[in-house]
Chain A
Amino acid sequence: MKPAPFDYRAPASIDEALPLLVLDSAVLAGGQSLVPLLNLRLARPELVVDINGIAELDYIRAEDGALRIGAMTRQATLERSELVRERWPLLHKAVELVGHPQIRTRGTVGGSVAHADPAAELPVALTVLGARYRLRSPRGDRVLDGADLFRGPLYTAREPNELLVEIEVPEQPDGAGSGFAEHARTHGDFATAGAAAVVAPEGHTAIALLGAGPVPARAEAAERALVDGAEPREAAALAARDVEDEHRRALCAELARRAIEEAMA
């Protein structure tokens, strides 16, 4: 046994969970990041709020063209979703690269977002898809986009009394293609670098890098260049322009090129 002692509660509903969320509590979703932190005693919460029993947080559905994913949806469930594979294939490509199958059995979509690891695949894919995030507190709901939610490595705008309840992914433009590419020394390890892209015929382009900065951010200069007719290789070089470290910069440029070309194919 490695974790430091903590109190444990397993609420059965969102309403039961919210009053438990205080400064020294930790939300336990899939546990694939939190439990290692507990085992290493890098996290020492006084209270662990286990949301695995909240069935109302586990769903994938299309509504008014948008995809709605409950925060407790397992990564394995996302991976198996035909709806996601057909209409938001980028999410399918990204989730297949998350950890190993034994990790995705437990890991959740909401947990990956709330943990905000800069090397995580799902936040990068969600960023190029223009996802929005619904946070709930006793005072009500607020919905943030990625630029407002992701603040730094392992750091989001979620307040201690808030629970991430839903991820909303908008409908993608007609004819949009997508691509995801990453480099990891061993399949399933944390990626050293990666890139995601969505390209649509009507001038819509979204590109973001993985592991290149503190938060998943759109590469706007590269997107504009691509819309203005630049070659994928040129746009990819622009996307990676400000990445520190020569090796990582070269990796990002190459992976961005692959992601863009896959999206345009």
Chain B
Amino acid sequence: MRISVEINGRAHEGDVEPRTLLSDFIRHGAGLTGTKVGCEQGVCGACTVQLDGEPVRSCLMLAVQANGRALRTVEGLAADGELHPLQRAFHEAHALQCGFCTPGFLMSMEGFLREHPDAGDEQLREALAGNLCRCTGYLGIIEAVEHAAREMRGDQVEAD
């Protein structure tokens, strides 16, 4: 089936079988390998992308279902070569080691912080539960997201 999917503002066309997962189309069809594929059963969150602005598991959607829709992947996060505040915070707080889970975390939390800019500590931790990291022990990730949330709200951020 012929599909056309807008990814990070650019149209990507391709021929896919109905059974082609969206995650595979993003990586192999569109060549955007920032999105990672982990468990392929909706548990690990590594493949999280944004569909019309909302975080979704791309391994739990068929590519044909994204036909005519707008996706945003981790490649679409940095604007004009400037890292997104979340990306910068992950870098500064050592919120990644191998980095495999990072694109999923970023796309989940960017969507979450847009909807819940004033999320409290517990809400943040619950929101993070949808993504697994096997390296960091999460503390750096929590710190990074809290830091980015403050920056995205426009709070005064202490100089490091």
What is A's interface to B at a CB cutoff of 8 Å? Answer: 1-8, 10, 28, 31-32, 35-36, 38-40, 48, 50, 52, 76, 99-103, 105-106, 186-188
Give me 14 other A-B pairs in contact (C-beta within 8 A), A1-B17, A48-B62, A105-B54 excluded: A10-B65, A35-B21, A36-B42, A38-B19, A39-B59, A50-B65, A99-B42, A100-B45, A101-B55, A102-B48, A102-B55, A106-B61, A187-B126, A188-B130
Q: How far is the CA of A105 from the CA of B53 in the complex (A)?
A: 10
User: A-facing mask of B73-88, CB < 8 A → 1, else 0?
Assistant: 0000000000000000
> How distant is B141 from chain A, measured CB to nearest CB, in Å?
15
Q: Give the residues in chain B near A10, CB-CB below 8 Å.
A: 64-65
> Cβ of B56 and Cβ of A5 under 8 Å apart?
no
Range for the number of chain B residues in contact with chain A: 20 to 34
What is B's interface to A at a CB cutoff of 8 Å? Answer: 1, 17-21, 24, 40-42, 45, 48, 51, 54-57, 59-62, 64-65, 108, 111-112, 125-127, 129-130
> How distant is B25 from chain A, measured CB to nearest CB, in Å?
10
> Cβ of A35 and Cβ of B42 under 8 Å apart?
yes
The 5 closest A-B pairs by CB, nearest first: A100-B130, A8-B18, A36-B41, A3-B19, A35-B60
Contacts A4-B19, A8-B18; is A31 near B54 (CB within 8 Å)? no
> Cβ of A7 and Cβ of B48 under 8 Å apart?
no
Tell me if B's interface is mostly helix, strand, loop or mixed. Answer: mixed
> Cβ of B42 and Cβ of A32 under 8 Å apart?
yes
Q: What residue in chain A is nearest B19 (Cβ atoms)? A: A3
Q: Tell which of B40, B48, B111, B127 touches A39, judged by Cβ atoms closer than 8 Å.
A: B40
Tell me if A's interface is mostly helix, strand, loop or mixed. Answer: loop
Q: Tell which of A5, A40, A100 touches B19, judged by Cβ atoms closer than 8 Å.
A: A5
Q: Give the residues in chain A near B42, CB-CB below 8 Å.
A: 32, 35-36, 99, 103
Contacts A102-B45, A187-B126; is A8 near B64 (CB within 8 Å)? yes
Q: How far is the CA of A6 from the CA of B64 in the complex (A)?
A: 13
> How distant is A20 from chain B, measured CB to nearest CB, in Å?
14
> How distant is B45 from chain A, measured CB to nearest CB, in Å?
7
Q: Tell which of A35, A50, A105, A186 touches B51, judged by Cβ atoms closer than 8 Å.
A: A105
> Cβ of A2 and Cβ of B56 under 8 Å apart?
no
Contacts A2-B21, A186-B129; is A40 near B41 (CB within 8 Å)? yes
> Cβ of A5 and Cβ of B21 under 8 Å apart?
no
Q: How far is the CA of A237 from the CA of B61 in the complex (A)?
A: 42
Q: How far is the CA of A5 from the CA of B17 in the complex (A)?
A: 8
Q: What residue in chain B is nearest A3 (Cβ atoms)? A: B19
25 contacts between A and B (CB under 8 A): A1-B17, A1-B24, A3-B21, A8-B1, A8-B62, A32-B60, A35-B61, A36-B40, A36-B60, A39-B40, A50-B62, A50-B65, A76-B54, A99-B42, A99-B130, A100-B129, A101-B127, A101-B130, A102-B57, A103-B57, A105-B55, A105-B56, A187-B125, A187-B126, A188-B130
